[in-house]
Amino acid sequence: MAAIPPGVDGSTRFYFLNDLIGTKVLVQGKKVGKLGDLLVSGNDAIPGVTHIVVARPFGTPTLFVPWEDVASFSEEEVVLAKANLETYVAEPSGSAVLLNDYVKDKKVLDIANREVEIVYDIRLALKGGRLYVSDVDLNRQRLARRLGMDFLARNKPEHAVHPKMVSWAYVQPLENLSSLSGDIHLRILKEKLLDLPPMDLADVLEVMDHAQRVQVFDALDNQTAAQVLGETEPRVQREILASTSAERVEKIFAHLSPAEIAEIISILPRDGSREILEALKKDIAPKVHQILTEYDVPVSTLAVHRLLLFPGDLTVDDAFKRFRLQAPLSDVTMYVYVTGTEQELRGVVDINELLQADPRSRLEQIMTRTVVTVAPSMLRDEVEALFRKYHFRAIPVVDQSRHVVGAVRERDAFLHLPT
C-alpha cells in the first residue's frame, strides 16, 4: 500500500529533533540506516527541511536525501520513495545548515549580544507535506531527556518544567555556523518578521504557539493584519479574533471586502460572530449578513470600491509612479481602469501589459477599449458564468451611464460559505 504523504491533510504536526535523531530509515521495507540530521537553508525566514541525512553503518557513505523523496515521516520510521541510494551520496551545496550538528547546543544571544540560553532542542512543524523549523527549545529539561534522565523533569513541580520556546521567526538567518563555532542570534520583531509578505506571515503564525501568535499579530498595522488574517487557516483565525478587541477587529475589517468578512465570520462561534456583526459599520453589516444568509446576492453586495482609476492621457511612466502610491490602498491591483473626467469607463489596462509598454505611451493608446462589465443588480450566478468564460481576476461594476462604481473580484464571486 502506498504511503500517505506527510501532513497533506491540512493539519500541523509537531516533532522535536531529539526524538527524531536515530529513527530507522527504510527503503522497500528494508532498513538502510538511521536519521542522523536534517538539512535546512540558512537564509530562509522560516526554514524548510531540504534534505534528511541518513547515517549508515560500517563506514558506508552518508546519504543526503531530498525531502521530496521522503515517502513518509514519523518518530517511528522514515520511508524513502526511491531505492537507488547511490544518487544520494553527494553532499548538498549552498547555504545548507545541519540542525543537529550546527544549531543544537549553540548559545542564544540577544540583540545586544548578551548570552540568553543554550539551544537544547529544536521543534519542527509538519504542514502541507513540508517540514519546517518552528522553534528553538531553551528548556534544560530537554537536555535531561537527551541524557536519558527525563525522570528529573518528572520529579519537578509542574510550573518548573514549562517549555521555554523561542519562535524561529525571531532568529537571525544562520551564517558562519559549524559543528564547533557560531552562535544563534535573536532578532528584533518589527525590523525583521514584519517585513515578510502577508502569505509568509500567515504561515509563520500557523506554526507559532498561541502567545507568540497574538504578540506578532498585535504588532501588525491594520491593513497588513487584514491581509494576514485572510490567508490563515480557520483554526488560527478563530484564535486570533478571540484575543483581539472588537474595536481593533472593526479597524482590521475596514480593509476587507464584505465577502472576506463573511468568510471569516462564518467559522466563528455564534456569539462571536454576532458581536462582530454588531461592531461593523452600518453600510457593511447588511451586506455581510446577506452574504452569510443568501446565496444569489447581487453584485452591489459583493463589490469592492477602492480601485485604480487613471486618466487616459497619463503616460505609462507616470502611471507606474501613481500605481506605487495607490496600489497598497487598492482592493484591485491587477487592472488599471482608464476613466474620463466623470469616472466613466473608457478602457482597461492589465498590469502585465503596463509592464511591457513603452514608458512614453499614454494609457489611452495601450488600453483595451472593449471591456466586459456588470451592473450592480446582476446576481452572483451570472457573474460566476462570466468569470468562467473569460478567466478575469476582477470585473468592473458600472451604472447606466458607465460610471465605475466598483469591481467584483473572482475570489469573492466564487466564495461558498459552509452551510
**Pairing outcome for strands 49-55 and 30-41:** antiparallel
The tens digit of pLDDT for each residue in 270-290 reads 776 777 777 787 888 899 989
Mean pLDDT is lowest, of 112-116, 219-223, 322-326, for: 112-116
Q: How many residues does the chain have?
A: 419
pLDDT at res. 4: 37
Residue 291 near residue 414, CB atoms below 8 Å: no
Residue 151 near residue 132, CB atoms below 8 Å: no
Residue 226 near residue 329, CB atoms below 8 Å: no
The tens digit of pLDDT for each residue in 66-108 reads 999 999 999 999 999 988 898 899 877 666 788 888 777 666 6
Query: Is 193-293's fold the same as 309-413's?
Result: no
The tens digit of pLDDT for each residue in 232-261 reads 888 888 889 888 888 898 899 989 999 999
Element holding 57 (H helix, E strand):
none
Q: What is the mean pLDDT of residues 195-220?
A: 77
pLDDT at res. 170: 65
Higher confidence at residue 372 or residue 117?
372
pLDDT at res. 159: 35
pLDDT at res. 404: 97
The tens digit of pLDDT for each residue in 109-127 reads 654 455 556 777 888 989 8
Q: What is the mean pLDDT of residues 125-150?
A: 70
Q: Strand (E) positions, 155-197? A: 165-167, 184-185
pLDDT at res. 154: 46
Spatial CA neighbour of 130 closest among 187, 184, 206:
206
- Quick one: three-class SS letters along 225-283? HHHHHHHCCHHHHHHHHHCCCHHHHHHHHCCCCHHHHHHHHCCCCHHHHHHHHHHCCCC
As separate numbers, helices (DSSP H) first and strands (DSSP E) second, the chain gives: 18, 19
Spatial CA neighbour of 208 closest among 196, 226, 222:
196
The tens digit of pLDDT for each residue in 380-403 reads 999 999 999 999 999 999 999 999
pLDDT at res. 339: 97
Is the per-residue pLDDT at 349 higher than 90? yes
- pLDDT above 70 coverage of the chain, percent: 78
93 CB-near residues (< 8 Å, 6+ apart): none
CA separation for the pair 284, 249 (Å, rounded): 14
Bridge partners, 334 (sequence order): none
Cα 348 to its chain centre, rounded Å, is 31
pLDDT at res. 2: 36
Confidence of residue 334 (pLDDT cuts 50, 70, 90): very high
376 CB-near residues (< 8 Å, 6+ apart): 298, 299, 300, 303, 397, 399, 405, 406
Spatial CA neighbour of 63 closest among 27, 104, 111:
27
CA separation for the pair 344, 33 (Å, rounded): 70
Q: How far apart, in Å, do the first and last CA atoms of the chain sit? A: 35
pLDDT at res. 153: 44
Which numeric CATH code is attached to 193-293? 1.25.60.10
Grid cell 507535506 — which residue? Answer: 129
pLDDT at res. 94: 64
Is the per-residue pLDDT at 64 higher than 80? yes
Spatial CA neighbour of 103 closest among 35, 203, 171, 189:
171
pLDDT at res. 264: 87
pLDDT at res. 65: 94
Confidence of residue 8 (pLDDT cuts 50, 70, 90): very low
The listed CATH number (3.90.180.10, 3.50.50.60, 2.30.30.240, 3.20.20.80) that belongs to domain 12-185? 2.30.30.240
Instruction: Please tell me the number of Cα atoms within 13 Å of 386 on its side-chain side.
Output: 22
What the block records as the C-alpha cell of 120 is: 537544547
Q: What is the mean pLDDT of residues 163-180?
A: 61
Is the per-residue pLDDT at 165 higher than 90? no
The number of beta carbons lying within 10 Å of the beta carbon of residue 249 is 22
What the block records as the C-alpha cell of 29 is: 521495507
Higher confidence at residue 53 or residue 174?
53
The listed CATH number (3.20.20.70, 3.10.580.10, 3.40.50.1950, 3.30.160.270) that belongs to domain 309-413? 3.10.580.10
Q: What is the mean pLDDT of the chain?
A: 81
62 CB-near residues (< 8 Å, 6+ apart): 36, 53, 54, 55, 56, 89, 91
Residue 132 near residue 49, CB atoms below 8 Å: yes
The DSSP call for residue 113 is -
pLDDT at res. 181: 54
Q: Where are the domains of the chain?
A: 12-185, 193-293, 309-413
What backbone phi and psi angles, to 5 degrees, belong to 127?
-145, 130
Confidence of residue 176 (pLDDT cuts 50, 70, 90): low
What backbone phi and psi angles, to 5 degrees, belong to 274?
-65, -40
Bridge partners, 344 (sequence order): 403
